[in-house]
Amino acid sequence: MMRVFRFMRVAQCSNIADFRAMARRRLPSPIFHYIDGAADDEVTCRRNTEAYESCDLVPSVLAGVETIDMSTTVMGQRLAMPLFCSPTALQRLFHHDGERAVAKAAEKFGTMFGVSSLGTVSVEEIGATIATPKMFQLYFHKDRGLTNSMIERGLAANFDVLALTVDTITGGNRERDLRTGFTSPPRLTPASLVSFALHPAWTANYFARERFSLPQLKDYVKEGSSVAISVGEYFSTMLDQSMNWKDAENVRVKWGKPFCLKGIMSVVDAKRAVDIGATGIMVSNHGGRQLDGSRSPFDQLAEIVDAVGDRIDVICDGGIRRGTHVLKALSLGAKACSGGRLYLFALAAAGQAGVERALGNLRGEIERDMKLMGCRSVKELSRENLRFR
Ligand SMILES: Cc1cc2nc3c(=O)[nH]c(=O)nc-3n(C[C@H](O)[C@H](O)[C@H](O)COP(=O)(O)O)c2cc1C
């Protein structure tokens, strides 16, 4: 099996596991494990994907499916496919094109992508070059000047949706990062130097190309850009642990455009999101990277949709590895799905070409699976299509 992976090229990557294997070969190990890893025993991370296996699709036939429509409208944004790229940090560490590659690939597929507060390309550059719907992800910092400046910059750069992340009130216990010593920017230790030496192509790109920076933050804080810090420590020390519902509402008012809370898991909180006027919620546990032992988004989806699905757009974020996972979440009432690792491994493996291939594979799967389900439009998906075991 390893020999097959060793010589695999992008065009031969049929699924996310293939891209993960390629990313593993290309990246210094602390960086691979930062993407792949999760909190504590990584139980929640595994469950996020396994949850989709707890039910089965029940297809219909003879439905005339020569053309199908997989477009959806979520938080006022029309997406050509019902899956988008969640915001993720530090993308230029994974591939030198970073967010530029992801943004261009998402644009090609007519879908949305997120740029993180901890992004490595500026919102101004992305806003000026990319036309597809754009989400800016906000971390609520203790430094209110920084938090406000990011909201203003996202608005000026014409981002369409603001996602306030609410599940990182303190850093998750990411033991792989503790073991490898992963920091942003990468700290040069004897172990990381060995890892860099073993991955000369990555290392040459990292040192020879545009200097690493966090443009959303660098005028306010040095941590992450020029002072090395782990992501967990960043959350614990830089973000405001007093953040509450009133703060979230104030952010929504200041933003004034489609607004969502990223990291909602309970019905009670979903209802409060409606109360503060949010346009959407991303049902998410941060890819299992924060509270290990928390429930998976897919397991939690039905009760949240039942409670608020008629008043707010519900997005199922995390664990998606196949088109059928998307169909199952939409059948339960999600307006769209989103994910991180599903495009990050591909970014690390091959930049924009990799992300395009990964999104193309998933779009192909969604299209094929809709046809096999006898489903002409995503609106036709419903709980009738699903049986839990
Ligand atoms: C490497 C990595 C970095 C991430 N960075 C952020 C971030 O900066 N902000 C954020 O709100 N979520 C971040 N996330 C969480 C993703 O937005 C998303 O919720 C998660 O990846 C979903 O799980 P999945 O990877 O199984 O699809 C990150 C996830 C990964 C894997």
Write down the pLDDT at residue 225.
87
Q: What is the mean predicted confidence (pLDDT) over 246-259?
A: 98
- In the residue annotation, 286 being an active-site residue is answered as yes
For residue 284 and ligand 1, the question of a CB distance below 6 A is answered with yes
Q: Is the pLDDT of residue 4 over 60?
A: no
pLDDT digits (tens, 9 = 90+) for 333-381: 999 999 999 999 999 999 999 999 999 999 999 999 999 999 999 999 9
Q: What is the mean predicted confidence (pLDDT) over 280-286?
A: 98
Residue bearing the CA closest to ligand 1, atom 1:
35
In angstroms, what is the span from residue 24 Cα to ligand 1's centroid? 18
For residue 239 and ligand 1, the question of a CB distance below 6 A is answered with no
pLDDT digits (tens, 9 = 90+) for 319-334: 999 999 999 999 999 9
Per-residue H/E/C for the chain: CHHHHHCCCHHHCCCHHHHHHHHHHHCCHHHHHHHHCCCCCCHHHHHHHHHHHHEEECCCCCCCCCCCECCEEECCEEECCCEEEEEECCHHHHCCCHHHHHHHHHHHCCCCEEECCCCCCCHHHHHHHCCCCEEEEECCECCHHHHHHHHHHHHHCCCCEEEEECCCCCCCCCHHHHHHCCCECCCCCHHHHHHHHCCHHHHHHHHHCCCCCCCCCCCCCCECCCECECHHHHHHHHECCCCCHHHHHHHHHHHCCCEEEEEECCHHHHHHHHHCCCCEEEECCHHHCCCCCCCCHHHHHHHHHHHHCCCCEEEEECCCCCHHHHHHHHHHCCCEEEECHHHHHHHHHHHHHHHHHHHHHHHHHHHHHHHHHCCCEHHHCCHHHEEEC
Q: Is the pLDDT of residue 57 over 50?
A: yes
Write down the pLDDT at residue 1.
44
The single residue of 96, 141, 199, 286 carrying the catalytic annotation is: 286
Write down the pLDDT at residue 301.
98
Ligand 1 atom nearest to 163, measured from its CA: 11
Confidence of residue 226 (pLDDT cuts 50, 70, 90): confident
For residue 262 and ligand 1, the question of a CB distance below 6 A is answered with yes
| pLDDT mean across residues, the chain | 96
pLDDT digits (tens, 9 = 90+) for 107-149: 999 999 999 999 999 999 999 999 999 999 999 999 999 999 9
In angstroms, what is the span from residue 285 Cα to ligand 1's centroid? 9
Q: What is the mean predicted confidence (pLDDT) over 13-28?
A: 97
Write down the pLDDT at residue 2.
47
Ligand 1 atom nearest to 340, measured from its CA: 21
In angstroms, what is the span from residue 75 Cα to ligand 1's centroid? 20
Ligand 1 atom nearest to 119, measured from its CA: 8
Write down the pLDDT at residue 362.
98
Ligand 1 atom nearest to 341, measured from its CA: 25
For residue 27 and ligand 1, the question of a CB distance below 6 A is answered with no
Write down the pLDDT at residue 6.
53
Confidence of residue 192 (pLDDT cuts 50, 70, 90): confident
For residue 290 and ligand 1, the question of a CB distance below 6 A is answered with no
Confidence of residue 190 (pLDDT cuts 50, 70, 90): confident
Q: State which of 86, 91, 230, 243 you would mutate to test the pocket of ligand 1, scoring each by most atoms of that ligand within 8 A of its C-beta.
A: 86
Confidence of residue 189 (pLDDT cuts 50, 70, 90): confident
Q: What is the mean predicted confidence (pLDDT) over 158-165?
A: 98
pLDDT above 90 as % of the chain: 93
Confidence of residue 170 (pLDDT cuts 50, 70, 90): very high
